Amino acid sequence: MASKNSVKSDIKDGYYHIYNRGVGKMTIFKNEADYGVFLSYLKEYLSPPLNKKDRIYVIHMQDRVFNGVARPPKNFSERIELTCYCLMPNHFHFIIKQLQNGAMRDFVHSILLRYSMYFNKKYNRVGPLFQGRFKAVFIENETYLLHLSRYIHLNPREYTNKLLETKSSYADFLGLKNTPWVNPEIVLSFFNKNVSLEFNKTNNYKKFVEDERNNTEILRDVVLE
CB atoms within 10 A of CB 96: 24
Strand 56-61 vs strand 135-139: parallel, antiparallel, or unpaired?
A: unpaired
Range with the lowest mean pLDDT among 35-39, 57-61, 133-137, 204-208? 57-61
User: What percent of the chain clears pLDDT 90, i.e. is strictly above it?
Assistant: 63
Overall average pLDDT of the 101-119 stretch: 96
CA-based end-to-end distance of the chain: 19
Could you tell me which residue, 120 or 57, shows the higher pLDDT? 120
Tell me the pLDDT band of 86, cut-offs 50, 70 and 90. Answer: very high
Degrees, nearest 5: CA angle 191-193-199:
60
Contact at 8 Å (CB) between 181 and 77? yes
User: pTM score > 0.75 for this model?
Assistant: yes
pLDDT value of residue 3: 47
Degrees, nearest 5: CA angle 82-45-106:
80
Contact at 8 Å (CB) between 19 and 105? no
Q: Is the pLDDT of residue 50 over 90?
A: no
Q: Which domains does the chain have, with CATH numbers?
A: 2-46+78-214 (3.30.70.1290)
pLDDT value of residue 29: 98
Degrees, nearest 5: CA angle 78-84-90:
115
CA gap 197, 199 in Å, rounded: 5
